[in-house]
Amino acid sequence: MINKQRLLATFLELVQINSESGNEIEIQQLLKSKFANLGLKVVEDNAGQHENLGANNLICTLEATTNDDNIDNIYFTSHMDTVVPGINVKPIVKDDGYIYSDGTTILGADDKAGLATILELIYILTEQDIAHGKIQFVLTVSEESGLEGAKALDTSLLDAKYGYAIDASVDVGTTVINAPTQMKINTTIHGKKAHASVPNKGVSAINIAAKAISAMKLGQIDEYTTANIGRFEGGSATNIIADKVTLMAEARSHSDESINAQVAHMKSIFEETAEKYGCSATVEIINSYPGFKISQDAIVTNVAKASAIALGLTPNTVMAGGGSDGNIINQLGIPTVILGVGYEHIHTTEERMSINALNLLAEQLIKIVEITTQKSEN
């Protein structure tokens, strides 16, 4: 049903456009033109006015082909940005059926596979005159830098009953229905500066931080929760006892009770350890993004599973370890699940995308549209 050569060409075109987080203007302008040329109504919000956001989100609307009010309005979302290193990507199609970069950059299948399959979906719906309800395509910026584009999304532009984020690093046909909450713990430890030759006159902030970390529960906390110290900075020279250290940490969990307990634990360890040495710790807690849990019996889940079955795929549902724009849009009251894309080793220079998975993903999007249309006829 799909045009496999066109889909591959679209994917190869998109991954070669530089679009690291904060620098999406080139791909945003290209996609704006492509969607407009396909006859969609394309609207930009004002996300680009926010600090560190490089372009606006796009909300592209494909109007219904029928006046049947029983057909649900749905949406699909993919993000335009990539992680680093993503400049001058050179995709290579190999005989094993996978697309790779040349090894010096990521490939950018996360999430340009989603963007490419969305475009193929629109081509097919139009060319084959497939009946459908109103469909919106929400293309976001800065997903990779903390879902910041989705957080800045103009929600007044959305008109969907439920939808699908095309952005899970699981097999095509698998659907993510549960994703964690993430909280950031940013800490500054204040010690006392002194010359290294007179250590009794100073208190090392580095030493305080080390003792705090060694006393802290980190890694896999329980079946729902993880915690990690990701960044540690401090000191200036070997002959100076450091009076300041900054640490950046996170906790993520599928349990609100567990994450709140873990964050409180980390905060108290930093503060109590610093106080023990006559110093202080300033701890900032940031709720980076909320988690979500969609029922197995929800319409959005059932449609996703039915689309997988229609393609002969196993309709697994799973929990995710990370967040996506679906975390944010779920909070708006629009039930959203995350579709498996099939990309592998994302965020690394070994990233690769199966051509077969790319084709299956495009077919699944078409099936989702067909099922939502047929559902109204039953």
Q: What span, in angstroms and rounded, lies between the C-alpha atoms of 125 and 369?
A: 9
Q: What span, in angstroms and rounded, lies between the C-alpha atoms of 283 and 272?
A: 12
Q: Are 61 and 118 in contact (CB under 8 A)?
A: no
Rg of the chain over all Cα atoms, to the nearest angstrom: 23
Q: Where are the domains of the chain?
A: 4-179+291-375, 181-289
Q: Do domains 4-179+291-375 and 181-289 have the same CATH topology?
A: no
List, for residues 313-324, the tens digit of each pLDDT value: 999 999 999 999
Strand, coil or helix: what is 281? Answer: strand
Q: What is the mean pLDDT of the chain?
A: 97
Neighbouring-strand partners of residue 79 = 140
In this prediction, residues 326-348 reach a mean pLDDT of 97
Asked whether residue 378 carries a pLDDT value surpassing 70, the answer given is no
In the block, residue with structure tokens 């006559």:
278
Which of 171, 164, 186, 308 shows the shortest CA–CA distance to 245? Answer: 186
Q: What dihedral angle (degrees, nearest 10) is formed by the CA atoms of 68, 71, 73, 74?
A: -150
Q: Is 143 annotated in the active site? A: yes
pLDDT value of position 69 = 87
Q: Which fold has domain 181-289?
A: Alpha-Beta Plaits (3.30.70)
In degrees, rounded to 5, the angle at the alpha carbon of residue 108 between the alpha carbons of residues 51 and 155 is 45
Q: What span, in angstroms and rounded, lies between the C-alpha atoms of 344 and 350?
A: 8
Which H helix or E strand runs over 261? helix 256-276
Which H helix or E strand runs over 205? helix 205-214
Neighbouring-strand partners of residue 195 = 240
Q: What span, in angstroms and rounded, lies between the C-alpha atoms of 157 and 174?
A: 29
The binding site comprises 110, 144, 167
The pair of structure tokens assigned to 378 is 């039953």
Asked whether residue 330 carries a pLDDT value surpassing 90, the answer given is yes
List, for residues 251-307, the tens digit of each pLDDT value: 999 999 999 999 999 999 999 999 999 999 999 999 999 999 999 999 999 999 999
The binding site for Zn(2+) comprises 110, 144, 167
pLDDT band per the 50, 70, 90 thresholds, residue 377: low
Catalytic residue among 20, 120, 143, 351: 143
Q: What span, in angstroms and rounded, lies between the C-alpha atoms of 211 and 204?
A: 11
Name the pTM for this structure. Answer: 0.93
Q: How far is CA 123 from CA 35, 37, 65, 115, in A?
A: 10, 11, 14, 13
The pair of structure tokens assigned to 78 is 């993919």
Neighbouring-strand partners of residue 231 = 248
In this prediction, residues 60-84 reach a mean pLDDT of 96
- Beta-strand ranges (E) seen in 320-372 are 336-340, 352-354
Strand, coil or helix: what is 19? Answer: coil
- The number of angstroms, rounded, from the C-alpha of 49 to the middle of its chain's C-alpha atoms is 21
pLDDT band per the 50, 70, 90 thresholds, residue 339: very high
Q: Which option is the CATH number for 4-179+291-375: 3.20.20.100, 3.40.630.10, 3.40.930.10, 3.40.50.10950?
A: 3.40.630.10
